[in-house]
């Protein structure tokens, strides 16, 4: 706490001077008696013992009024962060081939589950080599034969876990496929309107948050075999809108998946080659990169590489916001003065 007008505290030294002058020069009115012996033997009543109360209340009131004149203030540090973040759309393949098994932190999981967990580490951080992306807009598009928005662009990353739970391997054969081009086009369209999405979410004035760059991170283990739009045509759209594509091929080559039957679990080979030629062409068209991730560590290394290339910038502005606190002191002083006046005119009234 500080005082806006500390010089007013000098008046506190005047209060003892006023008390002394009142006692020294004003004196007490009285009536002469020949003897006060009988009165002294009668003792002192409670009222007599509390005659000092009005004077004490007056002194306390003066002290509070002086403190109020000094304008006490409470300073609170406020922090305003102006961010230049990255808008990220994850484009995740959920076709049947993503059911192939892959090792992740000692577990055997399907590729889709590994991709989801690695994506969560990338966004939220893992306490090791990934610090997370707390200042970035993040969204997700999942695709098989059809592309869908699995998670809208958002700064509220706490909601991502629930959206990720709803991204599962395709179950119907009629919905299976790999529409990379359609998924890239949908993600690019979402990023194109990212500024409008951000304005609706934050309800803040323009300039509070600036999108530094827009990127798509594509993860797939196959090749485009359906959909209306070819991957290179979608890449052209992304390039036109200033969006980079980072393409990651997951797995590659022959892989195994586990089939559960009443007679037991059986491992069945899945042959699904990653079309790295197309992924490379798509990424190069937008000045991005393409990488093949064959296991958990190589996938995490790709994320580390993207994390280094796409840095967010946060400018922190600190300032002190002072709140005036003189009102309680002033009201307290006035209340004490009113109480002193009321007591002096009633319970502690003197004659003359």
What's residue 28's pLDDT?
59
Burial of 27 (C-beta count, 10 Å sphere; 0-12/13-18/19+) = exposed
What's residue 222's pLDDT?
84
Q: How far apart are CA 271 and CA 253, in angstroms?
A: 7
Confirm if 249 and 202 have CB atoms less than 8 A apart.
no
pLDDT per residue as tens digits for the range 167-221:
999 888 888 999 999 999 999 999 998 887 777 765 654 456 678 899 999 999 8
Q: How far apart are CA 181 and CA 145, in angstroms?
A: 11
What's residue 351's pLDDT?
61
What's residue 324's pLDDT?
79
Cα–Cα distances in angstroms (integers) from residue 184 to residues 63, 85, 134, 226, 245, in the given order? 72, 21, 24, 13, 9
SS3 of the chain = CEECCHHHHHHHHHHHHHHHHHHHHHCCCCCCCCCCHHHHHCCCCHHHHCCCHHHHHHHHHHHHHHHHHCCEEEEEEEEEEEEEEEEEEEEEECCHHHHCEEEECCEEEEHHHHHHHHHHHHHHCCCCCCCCCCCCEEEEEEECCCEEEEEEEECCHHHHHHHHHCCCCCCCHHHCCCCHHHHHHHHHHHHHCHHHHHHHHHCCCCCCEEEEEEEEEEEECCCCCCCCCCHHHHHHHHHHCCEEEEEEEECCCEEEEEEEECCEEEEEEEECCCCHHHHHHHHHHCCCCEEEECCHHHHHHHHHHHHHHCCCEEEEEEEEEEEECHHHHHHHHHHHHHHHHHHHHCCCCCCC
Q: What is the CATH number of domain 80-316?
A: 3.40.50.410
Per the structure block, which two tokens stand in for 162? 């629930």
Residues (pLDDT < 70) of the chain are 23, 25-44, 75-83, 201-209, 252-272, 313-322, 350-352
What's residue 76's pLDDT?
65
Domain ranges of the chain: 2-75+323-345, 80-316
Q: Compute CA 10 distance to the chain's CA centroid, rounded to the nearest angstrom.
A: 46
| pTM check: above 0.85 | no
């Amino acid at each position: 706490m500080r005082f806006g007008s500390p010089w007013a505290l000098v008046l506190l030294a005047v209060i003892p001077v006023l008390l002394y002058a009142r006692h020294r020069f004003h004196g007490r009115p009285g009536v002469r008696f020949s003897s006060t012996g009988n009165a002294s033997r009668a003792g002192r009543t409670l009222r007599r013992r509390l005659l000092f109360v009005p004077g004490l209340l007056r002194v306390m009131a003066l002290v509070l009024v002086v403190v109020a004149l000094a304008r006490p203030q409470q300073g609170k540090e406020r922090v305003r962060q102006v961010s230049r973040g990255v808008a990220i759309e994850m484009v995740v393949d959920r076709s049947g081939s993503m059911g192939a098994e892959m090792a992740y932190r000692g577990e055997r999981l399907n590729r889709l589950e590994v991709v989801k967990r690695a994506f969560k580490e990338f966004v939220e951080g893992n306490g090791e080599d990934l610090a997370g992306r707390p200042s970035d807009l993040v969204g997700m598009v999942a695709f098989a034969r059809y592309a869908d928005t699995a998670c809208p662009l958002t700064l509220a990353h706490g909601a991502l876990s629930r959206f990720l739970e709803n991204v599962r391997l395709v179950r119907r054969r009629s919905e299976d496929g790999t529409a990379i081009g359609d998924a890239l086009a949908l993600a690019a369209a979402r990023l194109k309107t990212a500024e409008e999405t951000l304005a609706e979410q934050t309800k803040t004035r323009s300039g509070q948050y600036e999108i530094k760059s827009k990127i798509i991170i594509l993860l797939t283990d196959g090749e485009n075999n359906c959909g209306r739009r070819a991957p290179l045509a979608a890449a052209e759209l992304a390039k036109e809108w200033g969006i980079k594509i980072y393409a990651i091929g997951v797995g590659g080559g022959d892989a195994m998946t586990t089939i559960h039957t009443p007679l037991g679990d059986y491992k069945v080979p899945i042959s699904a080659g990653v079309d790295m030629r197309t992924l490379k062409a798509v990424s190069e068209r937008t000045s991005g990169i393409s990488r093949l991730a064959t296991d958990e560590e190589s996938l995490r290394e790709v994320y580390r590489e993207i994390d280094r290339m796409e840095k967010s910038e946060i400018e922190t502005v600190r300032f002190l916001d002072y709140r005036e606190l003189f009102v309680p002191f002033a009201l307290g002083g006035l209340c004490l003065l009113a109480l002193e006046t009321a007591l002096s005119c009633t319970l502690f009234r003197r004659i003359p």
